[in-house]
Amino acid sequence: MEKIAFIGLGIMGIPMCLNLIKGGHSVYANTRSQVNEEIMASGAIICATPKAAAEAANIIILIVNDTPNVEDVLFGSNGVSQTDLTGKLIIDMSTISPVATQEFAQKIKALGGDYLDAPVSGGDVGAKAASLSIMAGGSDNAFQRALPILQLLGQNISLVGDNGAGQVTKMANQVIVALTIQAVAEGLILASKAGADPEKVRQALMGGFANSRILEVHGQRMTSGNLTPGFKVNLHQKDITSALNTARELGAALPGTAIFQQLLSGCVARGGSDWDHSAIVKVLEDMSNHSLTGHD
């Protein structure tokens, strides 16, 4: 069994950390927020800083919410890099800049460690069920070392290239998820405004070519009005901003993605930064003067 540092206990991090503990590993946990009661009761060893967690572990996993936060965890005054990294593997499961990821990996390797970027998809549902899709970037040696750990967290686990490739793959994932959420919302609003029951329409479409996990999960959120976050508006907004910035640098056209970003901004304007990202349906409802649930 491994000694694992786990840094970042948010919506995704809590169930992922618990799954590692269930797998029999010793976990040294660190978070900037208040420690969740489940983590406290799980047997995890709570560490005051990323440095303290990294000192105790052979494998260091982090899942935090943006590039600057990853940089701080790794290279801040009480960061991971303040301990001896010789022979240690860092697995960054956050969703951040591919360019920054390559820079971070080079710095960690220069300090004697190894580095795998391994962002995830599947939301809190996948994190709890240990069914996440994990897209990794790094060496084959780093990937093979990480694989038994990653298999406790997900089911579809792929090495897609060198450091940064995992983040590029996740960026593409976030674009595809965004436009599928938008398509589901638009389709359900069209059907509902025409007089059909949107929930019955959703169920009917799940038997055809339009079926998807987003129609299944997020479509149900839309028809029930459940905005409890599995993945928050502000986090998807961060990811889409990164995708659009990268597209601009590369000269790639992402017109639909730009529209989705504006719908997310509409959620924020309504006070919905912490809503589930399927809440873009609320903005489309306003534009259509029609509610799927019959109330605001």
State the catalytic residues.
Answer: 170
| Token pair for 247 | 């597209």
- Read off φ and ψ for residue 115, nearest 5 degrees: -145, 135
**Residue 23 phi, psi dihedral angles, 5° rounding:** -75, 0
Angle at 6 between CA 70 and CA 227, to 5 degrees: 75
Question: Residue 147 is encoded by which pair of tokens?
Answer: 């694989």
CA-based nearest residue to 9, from 33, 45, 37, 41 = 33
**3-7 vs 26-30, strand pairing mode:** parallel
**DSSP strand pairing (59-62 vs 120-121):** unpaired
Q: Is 248 helix (H, G, I), strand (E, B) or coil?
A: helix
Residue 120's H or E segment, with its range, is strand 120-121
- Contact in structure between 178 and 154 (CB atoms under 8 Å): no
Distance from C-alpha of 240 to C-alpha of 47, rounded to nearest angstrom: 33
